[in-house]
Amino acid sequence: MKVLVTGGAGFIGSHVTDALVAKGHDVHILDDMSGGRRENLNSGATLHELDIRTSAAADLVQDHGFEAMFHLAAQMDVRKSVADPRFDADVNIGGILNLMEAGRKSGLKKVVFSSTGGAIYGEPEFAPQDEQHPLRPISPYGITKLTTEKYLYFYQNAYAIDYVALRYGNVFGPRQNPHGDAGVVAIFIQRLMNGKTPVIYGDGKQTRDYVYVADVVQANLAGLDYDGSGVFNVGTSVETNVNQLYSIIRDEVAPDVESNYAPPRTGEQQRSVLDYRHSQRELGWKPQVAVKEGLQQTVAWFKSEAEAKA
């Protein structure tokens, strides 16, 4: 199958690209390299270094006639979305509309969209949160992800382009970017490896559903094979608080480092945990890697990267 992966040089996108290449698909990557890394690129895929909002990106989609698109390119920083909602919408909504308009004219059949769980549901009324949970995004980032899901429903209804929207928990694993604010696992590992003490904001009791990137890749592949359209949680149904997360990572990297606390961040969500049973029933997907095992594998990858650069 001829497949486009937007954001294919990024953390999750590069892993998805690897899996698609391994399965023999003709894979093209659309990435402006603002957040992607060249070392993540798979040599078996073709890179098109373009911004998803441009006419050149639309021309690429129309000229190549992709059968399927994995849409991972995004403005993914929640705080940046709050600071600049217009830019967030320009990338996350304007970008997908640009590609979908080209795709509907050129035979696009399927879209697998990387959405979000916690940022769409907000604080849980019940836990774990399933796909029927009230949708209460409190950030522009969450709003744009939900809006994209609604646009994909429109394109399915109007143009018969099937879609699978995957509502991720907190994805972690090898290749995650330790610079910035989005990936707490990578940030903790990198700081500890550099002899620094990571900062835990608040009391560290806020919880997230941490899901390993290899499991997320399998959800994407299952989404491609799914005969139909819909929205699916990709999580573990297990809550892990920041103190627990830090303790596991610290034991693997620098056991003697104490915890360092700072005042809580304004507006930070306190709980998020996703019910994956709908994904198990419909996609045949469930998480395979426990949080501790995934963290150990991630630490091992960061250590091997550091050794290779030494």
Tens digits of per-residue pLDDT, 142-179?
999 999 999 999 999 999 999 999 999 999 999 998 87
Based on the number of CB atoms within 10 Å of its own CB, is 29 exposed (0-12), middle (13-18) or buried (19 or more)? buried
The pLDDT assigned to 268 comes to 81
Q: Is residue 300 part of a domain?
A: yes
Query: Is there a single domain that holds both residue 14 and residue 147?
Result: yes
CA distance 169 to 167: 7
The number of beta carbons lying within 10 Å of the beta carbon of residue 215 is 21
The pLDDT assigned to 180 comes to 62
The answer to whether 49 and 31 have CB atoms below 8 angstroms apart is yes
Query: Is there a single domain that holds both residue 217 and residue 164?
Result: yes
Please state whether beta strands 162-168 and 110-116 pair in parallel, antiparallel, or not at all (unpaired): parallel
Query: Is there a single domain that holds both residue 193 and residue 129?
Result: no
Query: Is there a single domain that holds both residue 143 and residue 187?
Result: no
The pLDDT assigned to 266 comes to 77
Q: Is residue 277 part of a domain?
A: no
Catalytic residues: 141
Place of tokens 């019910």: 275
CATH code at 261? Answer: 3.90.25.10
Residue type present at position 84? D
Query: Is there a single domain that holds both residue 160 and residue 178?
Result: no
Residue 170 phi/psi, 5-degree rounding, is -85, 105
Query: Is there a single domain that holds both residue 119 and residue 157?
Result: yes
Q: Is residue 159 part of a domain?
A: yes
The answer to whether 139 and 84 have CB atoms below 8 angstroms apart is no
Res. 182: pLDDT tops 70: no
Q: Is residue 107 part of a domain?
A: yes
Please state whether beta strands 68-71 and 110-116 pair in parallel, antiparallel, or not at all (unpaired): parallel
Q: How confident is the model at residue 77 (pLDDT cuts 50, 70, 90)?
A: confident
CATH code at 113? Answer: 3.40.50.720
Query: Is there a single domain that holds both residue 61 and residue 21?
Result: yes
The number of folded domains in the chain is 2
The answer to whether 272 and 211 have CB atoms below 8 angstroms apart is no
Query: Is there a single domain that holds both residue 140 and residue 195?
Result: no
Q: Is residue 19 part of a domain?
A: yes
Place of tokens 């992607």: 36
Query: Is there a single domain that holds both residue 140 and residue 33?
Result: yes
Note down the domain range covering 220. 2-171+212-234
Query: Is there a single domain that holds both residue 45 and residue 133?
Result: yes
Tens digits of per-residue pLDDT, 198-256?
999 999 999 999 999 999 999 999 999 999 999 999 999 999 999 999 999 999 999 99
Res. 296: pLDDT tops 90: yes
Q: Is residue 283 part of a domain?
A: no
SS3 content of the chain, % helix, strand, coil (to 5): 45, 15, 40
Tens digits of per-residue pLDDT, 150-159?
999 999 999 9
Query: Is there a single domain that holds both residue 222 and residue 297?
Result: no
Query: Is there a single domain that holds both residue 91 and residue 227?
Result: yes
Is the pTM value of this prediction over 0.85?
A: yes
Torsion of CA 251, 181, 52, 231, to 10 degrees: 70
Q: Is residue 253 part of a domain?
A: yes
The answer to whether 31 and 7 have CB atoms below 8 angstroms apart is yes
Q: Is residue 280 part of a domain?
A: no
Q: How confident is the model at residue 181 (pLDDT cuts 50, 70, 90)?
A: low
